[in-house]
Each structure stands twice: as structure tokens, then as C-alpha cells.
Structure 1
Amino acid sequence: MATERRELARELADDLGQELIRFDMQAALNDRPDNVGETIRSALGITTALQNAWRDSDGRASFNAWRSRIEAKGVLIFQTTRFDTEEASGFAIADDILPIIAVNRKDPPTRRTFSLVHELAHLLLKVSGVSDLDTDAARPAEDQRLEIFCNHVAAASLMPRDAVLNDPRISGRPLRSTDWSDNEISDIARSFGVSREAILRRLLTFDRTTPEFYTMKRGQYQAERQAWLKKQKQEASEGPGIPRNMPQETLSNFGKPLVQMIIGNYHQENLTLSEVSGYLGIKAKHLPKLELLSGFR
């Protein structure tokens, strides 16, 4: 499905006379993850001040901001609900033109952001793959090394060493602290647009907590996440719930670049309204609102 969308995007861009951006970001597996993280932040124009400006209750603003900047580098980014969160967090398909990242929409926004940057690291390495953010000991050693590297790059990109250690909520704390409250951890995590587990893992990396405390809190957070997932599934099975916003959902799933290409070809009469509806899986009545959301007009 993802590769079919990429081929469609190439055809649509050609019909529009649009020159596609070559994805030229790169890294090597023996690079220092912190250095790769700095490269990513610089290329995308990400600063700590910007991350603070994206702060919200669930990390959605941060996800959307990182996504739009990565898309501007010529990457197609999709969201999918085709697999469970236990199966995979996302996948990457490397290519010089229109490489692909897909993230699991069933995950909370903060986890999707980490997945997004993890998959971006795959693209920098020119290595396609399906990823689970929890490294699996059953994987071949080379696969484990790759996934660990991409996790480290994602952490360094989202939570740079200096930004974390200079944060006043952290800099004044003793080494190997074990009295971090959930409110403190949540507050710091929101500043970086990441999950509580992600920022706590970063604190462990910098010796600001202990392995025992991290393991305890990680177990708590994973139990809470499983309860959240169970609640989501239960609500979905019980009834229609909140009406679906199909234009927004379509834009979230397909991404702004592909949606704009499809709408652009429709307005140039290269596609019929029926073809647009078929490609996007959306009724024709939703197209005007989708145009507005995508920034086409």
C-alpha cells in the first residue's frame, strides 16, 4: 500500500510538472548518535524554544510540527491502523526520491513522535525496515544494533544532552536521584513532546536516576499504557462514539504532500472527482474541507 502511494505521488508530481526533492540526509551506523541528532535538528530547524512552544497536553502539536518539517525534506509520511501497537510502531522504506515513513496511529502522539524520528534515522542510514521501539533480544545481532542506534538517534534528536542537563528542573537535582515524582517527569516530558518513559530513559542515560527506579517506573507506565489501549478498544467496540472527522482523518493518514498532489491534479482536470474519492477513500462532500485543511486554498 505504501509503495503504491509513492508511485502514485511520482505520477501525480509528473502530471503537475512538479520537481520532487531528493532526500539527501545521511548517516552511518558508526556515527555518534548525539552528532546525528544535532544534524537532524539543524536540518529541520528544531530548537529547544520551538519545542517549548509546541508544548500541549498530549504531544499532538509536537508530532505535527516534526512531521511537517520532515515532509518538507521530501519524505512521504503516513499514519496507519493496519497493525496493533504490540506488532510494530512503524516502518521505513528508504529511497532517494520520496522515501516513506509510516507510524502506528493507534499509539499515543508522543510515542508516534519517537517512532517518526526513529524511522527518520532508518532513512538516514538508507535501510528500510519494520520497527518496534522495544528492542527484541530474539532479533539477529545486526538488527538489534540497528534498532538500538535508531532509538539513540531519536532520543538525541528529541532530547539533546545539553537541553536536558541544563533544564533547571534537572540541573539542580543530585545524581542517581530516585525521588522524581510523576508530575515532575510529566512536566519535563511535555516540554520535549515525548513520553514519560522516554524522558526517564534519558535521565538514566545521564545518570540522573538509577536503573532500579527506571525499571519500576517503566513497568508502571507500560501498565497504564496497556490500560489505555484496552479502554480505546472497548470504546471502539461499544458504539460509534464521537463522530469521525473524515477530512482531518484523511489528511492525518495520507499526509499533506500527497493530498495536495491529488487535489492539484483534480483542479487541473487530470483526475475526476470519483478518482479523488477512490484514492483518498473519502466522500466527495468532504473535499472542500479537506482542501482547506491541507492548505491547498
Structure 2
Amino acid sequence: MLIEMAFFLTPHPSAVAKIRKARLMSQEAVAIEANVPLAIIEQIETAPKAISKRMAFSVAKSLAVPIQSLFSDDVEVDTNIPDFRTAGNRPAVLTSSGLARLARTRSITNYLADGAFDQDARFQNVGTVKVGDTDRAISLISTLYRPVRSSSGAVNPQDTFRETRVSLESSGIIVLCDRVGDAFRGFCYAMPREFPVIFVNTSGQRPATKLFTLLHEAVHVVTGSTGISDPSILNNRLERFCNSVAAAVMMPSAEFQAYYSRVKNRDVRSAVDSLSRQFGASKQATALRVTDLGIDAEFYAKWSASLPAKVPPIQEEDEDESDGGGGGISSQIARFGYLLPNMLIGAVKSKAISQYDAYRLTNLKPSTISQIAEIGANRLGQ
């Protein structure tokens, strides 16, 4: 019995069927993607059936959802479920904290779709870029990017993140930030006729990494696609596109190549460190940029190989992060930004929603929401 419990799992039939339909996939497509017999998919959608743990992971991978989703009898799904595949194209296993952030973010997008809010204020370019249309994507994201440079010309990633976030929110994209003990760096919901919402996981990320995540998710918004930000994903066309556009905006080709010529004779780690500091980009994104521009096809591989074996590349750039948190109004602004509180307090004042509704959505006191909104009105130019 213990062996059976350890190696066999029983997905909930309705959960598998609901997720599959939300993904617009046939049973045959799931079976092919998961590399399991069609009969297995038919059986687990019909009645409770124990399958191997390995097979359960394969089904979750094919549906691109956290594996926990397969076992919930009340799983909430829609056609815009984020693609929760992580490094190695494996399904993410989210903690309860991660799932809670996902649920709250989706509830915010659903709530703001109500007629109580000014729909003209939302970002108007959701889904206007096709994957592969690099020039248009770079053009759109560049208009939202707000680099803040030091006297030496180097980009300050912390200040740039702050100003770019304000730019995104001024354009009608809500940006939420919070610490979640899961491996993903961010995700977004971006559907036509809804307010797009970006979530950045600030746990264990240095400023440069958070900035790259923010731009990566902004590319998801303009493509009208959801996804989870994990820089180790190299074999997913959408994720690679988002990564390459974010990198191109942060590290423009001509400027990047000119600076690279100054450091190319250094060892790869030293060169990446210098480039990363100059452009305010994460080290991993910087190393990939060298390869993507065709400067050195083997550069990323050489940089990865140069890292200490006991430190995975995704952790390399997360060291020595300073915690800019705190319990006051600043920490709440860091979590919720300006746009969401501004919209909520406006709806409360117009009596379109109650103060309790605003509290229920954010867990913030009305006075706190009002204070953030007052500050935000100036920052957002409203």
C-alpha cells in the first residue's frame, strides 16, 4: 500500500477535462504531447484512475499547468491559463503561496472587467504583436522602457525598474510585486478587453533580474499571451521570443556590440559582469545576448560552463540582493503599484464599488488605498 501511495496518483476526472478544454486541446493531442495511450486520457477523464507519478507529470506537462491542478475538484480554468512550464519543459509544482498569488491575480483581472471601471484606461495594444514580429515588439516595448543612467552612462536597474513600472501603469498595465517561494520569476494575464496584469516574483531576484522579468512579461502583454518567466527555458518559441525582445530593448545591438568590443578580451565571466553592470541586465540575459547577436555562437555555453558547479545559473545572479522591504506605505506601493489602488479608490468615490470590495481585493485598509492613490495620481500623471 505504501508503494502504491508513493508511486501512483489519481487525477480528478473533471479537472483534467476542464483544463484540456480550456487549452483547446483534443484528447488525442494531450495523449500525443504526454506520450501516453489515448485510452489513458479517456479513462482519467471518465472516472478516478490511479496512474504513475511519472505519467501524471507527463499529463501536467502536456497541459502546461502546475501538477496540483490535476487533483482539484473545483479547479478554476479559462482560456488564458498561464503556461506553467519551467526549465527543461517540466510542469511547475507551485506552493500554496504561489497558487494563491495566481488566484488573486486572476480575480483582479476578472473584477476589473466589470463596467464599474473605465475600460478606456486599459492598455490598448494587448495582442497586437505576433510571435516573430521582432521589430514591432521592440518598438512597442521601447516606448514603455524608462532607463535611468548614472553619470558614467550605466543603467541603474533598481531605478529603471521603478520608472518603467510607472510607465507601464500609466499606459494601463497593472504591475503587482510580491515574494513567493516558487521557482518562477513572473507571469501575466493578458486578454483582449481586460486590464492586463503583470506579476513579478521579487523573492531572490536582484534588481537587474526583476527588470528583465518586467520587460519579459510586457512582451507577453503585447503578444496577448500568458506565460511564466523562467530564463532557463530555451526551447519554447514564445518564451525565447519574449526573452529576445526584452534583451534587445535593454541592450540595443549597436550600443551593446560597441561596449562588447571593449571587454571581449577578458574572460567570459568578467566580460559578462561588465556588460551586465553597463546595461542593467541580468547576467544570464547578457550572456545570451552575445550569442543571439551572433558575436560568439558559443559564448553562452562558455559562460554557463564557467559558473561554479554547485551554483545553478539561475541562482548566480540572485546573490547579495538587498531587501528594500518594510511595513509602511512604501512596501504596499511596492506590492500593488499605483494603478490598481488609483482605479479602486476612483470606483469607491463614484460609488461604483464599496470600500469593502476594495479591501477584499487587496487586504488594504481604505485609508492606505487612498494614500497610495493620492501619491499615484501624481506619479501616473492623472
Normalised to the residue count of structure 1, the TM-score between the two structures is 0.72
2:143 alignment counterpart: 43
Q: 1:114 aligns with which of 212, 215, 222?
A: 212
1:281 alignment counterpart: 363
**Residues 76 and 99, structure 1, Cα contact 8 Å, conserved in 2:** yes
Q: 2:267 aligns with which of 176, 179, 193?
A: 179
Rate the CA distance shift 1:222–1:228 in 2: closer, same or farther, 3 A.
farther
Structure 1 position 93 matched with structure 2 position 205: no
Structure 1 position 105 matched with structure 2 position 197: no
Rate the CA distance shift 1:173–1:15 in 2: closer, same or farther, 3 A.
closer
**2 CA distance for matches of 1:215 and 1:181?**
9
Q: 2:121 aligns with which of 20, 35, 58?
A: 20
What is the Cα deviation at residue 211 of structure 1? 4.4
Rate the CA distance shift 1:37–1:166 in 2: closer, same or farther, 3 A.
farther
Q: Please state whether the residue corresponding to 1:103 is helix, strand or coil.
A: strand
For structure 1, the residue ranges without an aligned partner over 5 or more in a row are 138-143, 233-241
Q: Please state whether the residue corresponding to 2:120 is helix, strand or coil.
A: coil
Structure 2 matches for 1:1-297, cutoff 5 A? Answer: 1-11=104-114, 14-15=115-116, 19-24=120-125, 26-31=128-133, 33=134, 35-44=135-144, 46=145, 50-52=147-149, 59-84=157-182, 86=183, 88-97=184-193, 98-106=195-203, 107-135=205-233, 144-167=236-259, 170-174=260-264, 177-179=265-267, 182=270, 185-206=272-293, 207=295, 210-211=299-300, 213-219=302-308, 222=314, 224-225=316-317, 228=320, 244-284=326-366, 286-287=368-369, 289-295=371-377
Q: Deviations over 1:91-144 (max 9, x none)?
A: 12221231222221212222122122222222232222233221166xxxxxx1
Rate the CA distance shift 1:94–1:164 in 2: closer, same or farther, 3 A.
same
Equivalenced residues, count: 267
1:140 alignment counterpart: none
Normalised to the residue count of structure 2, the TM-score between the two structures is 0.58
Tell which has more relative contact order, 1 or 2 (C-alpha 8 A, sep 6+): 1
**Residues 23 and 99, structure 1, Cα contact 8 Å, conserved in 2:** no
**2 CA distance for matches of 1:127 and 1:270?**
30
- Report % sequence identity: 20
**Residues 158 and 194, structure 1, Cα contact 8 Å, conserved in 2:** yes
**2 CA distance for matches of 1:29 and 1:57?**
28
Rate the CA distance shift 1:276–1:30 in 2: closer, same or farther, 3 A.
closer
Rate the CA distance shift 1:205–1:178 in 2: closer, same or farther, 3 A.
farther
Which of these two proteins has the greater Rg computed from alpha carbons? 2
The one-letter code sitting in structure 2 at the alignment partner of 1:165 is Q
Rate the CA distance shift 1:263–1:272 in 2: closer, same or farther, 3 A.
same
**2 CA distance for matches of 1:24 and 1:226?**
32
Q: For the aligned residues, what is the CA RMSD?
A: 3.6
**1 CA distance for matches of 2:123 and 2:187?**
20
**Residues 247 and 287, structure 1, Cα contact 8 Å, conserved in 2:** no
**2 CA distance for matches of 1:172 and 1:179?**
12
For structure 2, the residue ranges without an aligned partner over 5 or more in a row are 1-103
